[in-house]
Structure 1
Amino acid sequence: MQSYKDKTELIEEIKKRYILYDEEFDGIKEDEKDMIKAGVDKTPSQNISYQIGWTHLLLQWESDEKKGIEVKTPTSEYKWNNLKGLYGSFYEQFGSYSLHEQREMLHNQVNEIIEWIEKLDDKTLFVAEQRKWATTPAKWPVWKWIHINTIAPFKNFRIQLRKWKKETGTS
């Protein structure tokens, strides 16, 4: 997994990968957002709903912990062994929005994540066990949770979107 020397480098990578990811939605028409294509496991709407869902959870975990609420990851309704159900809830919750609205939602959440990172001190961001919600057997520091829920899927899901666009002849 990629690592970062400081929060500035993490923020810059989020911005870069988000912009590239978001640009993949250019040219996808509203009436195409729910089209399924062979060899692509998500529609464009599902693809971005997944991102909205995870970035929302990341922000929610932090918000709840700051309020003194016990955080159950990934959610109190879904356990780690039922991620398929969690993804379905993301598609249901965010899939009814237009693609434009979904893009705007994700844009806003990415900005919130960047603002949050800017406020964190280096210890909280880069040292493990600084947040209860981030304390798992893997003992990941907060930055890894941020990376795995932003940068990594922004990179990986671009490939899916490109394949989907190729299958539909969208450019």
Structure 2
Amino acid sequence: MSSIPQSKDELLLAINGIFTKLMADYRVISAGISRDNGVEGNIKGTQISVCDTVAYLIGWGKLVLKWQRLKSQGLPVDFPETGYKWNQLGLLADHFHQEYRDWQYEDLLNELESTVADVVDLISSLSNAELYEKPWYNQWTLGRMIQFNTSSPMKNIRTKVRRFKKMKGC
């Protein structure tokens, strides 16, 4: 299998595989340090908290679900999100951090689990052809757009979270 999923089954394996590992990492981090800055941010030279990483993943997962819901209803979609352009992803990340800044760590983890379950359900409800055999946004298939915004950032964030865990002795 290539590192980039090419089918529905590979996409489900990629998401479920990295998500299980990432959640195991999150679960050993205590709520007491979950808001400490120390995780490398998306913008070079910035530091964010573990909670911010969870908020980021929730935000992107919910966007994927929103995009598909709107498109399936024949409605226009503002990519990546209303008020943001693709060259403003740092601002969008900050928006996600702010949106969830008052949430408790455990509630964030539960919301992430729920959001990922919804994404997995979406993928499961679609055929391989719907996911990978036709462009969905510009040249990208829906499967690739889901992967760009779920399993790929999960892998990236897991590396950063593991560094944070090591630094904190978790």
TM-score (norm: length of structure 1)? 0.88
Task: Indicate whether 1:50 and 2:47 are aligned.
Answer: no
- 1:122-161 correspondence runs (5 A): 122-129=128-135, 131=136, 135-136=137-138, 139-161=139-161
What secondary structure is seen at the aligned counterpart in 2 of 1:74? coil
Partner of 2:11: 10
How many residue pairs get aligned? The number is 164
Q: Distance in 1 between matches of 2:39 and 2:64?
A: 31
Residues 87-166 of structure 1: matches in 2 within 5 Å? 87-129=93-135, 131=136, 135-136=137-138, 139-166=139-166
CA shift for structure 1 position 10: 1.7
1:121 Cα deviation after fit = 1.6
- From 54, 77, 81, the equivalent of 2:87 is 81
How many angstroms apart in 1 are the aligned matches of 2:69 and 2:7? 23
Q: Deviations over 1:118-149 (max 9, x none)?
A: 111222100232x3xxx22xx11111111111
1:75 aligned counterpart, secondary structure: coil
Higher alpha-carbon deviation: 85-94 or 23-32: 23-32
- Give, in angstroms, the shift of residue 166 of structure 1: 1.7
Q: Deviations over 1:147-168 (max 9, x none)?
A: 1111111111111111111222
Q: CA deviation at 1:38?
A: 7.5
**Aligned-residue RMSD, C-alpha:** 1.8
8 Å CA contact 2:60, 2:149 repeated in 1: yes
Q: What letter is aligned with 2:142?
A: V
Counterpart in the other structure of 1:24: 25
In 2, Cα distance between the equivalents of 1:38 and 1:44? 7
Cα 1:38/1:154, change in 2 over 3 Å: closer
**Structure 2 counterparts to residues 54-69 of structure 1, below 5 A:** 54-69=60-75
Structure 1: tracts of 5 or more residues without a match: none
Give 1:34 deviation, angstroms.
1.4
Does the residue aligned with 1:37 lie in a helix, a strand or coil?
Answer: strand
Moved more, 43-52 or 117-126: 117-126
- Give the share of equivalent positions with the same residue, in percent: 24
TM-score, with structure 2 as normaliser: 0.88
User: In the alignment, does 2:38 pair up with 1:37?
Assistant: yes
Listed one character per residue, the Cα deviations across residues 45-84 of structure 1 (whole Å, up to 9, x for unaligned) are 1111110010010000001112232101011111112111
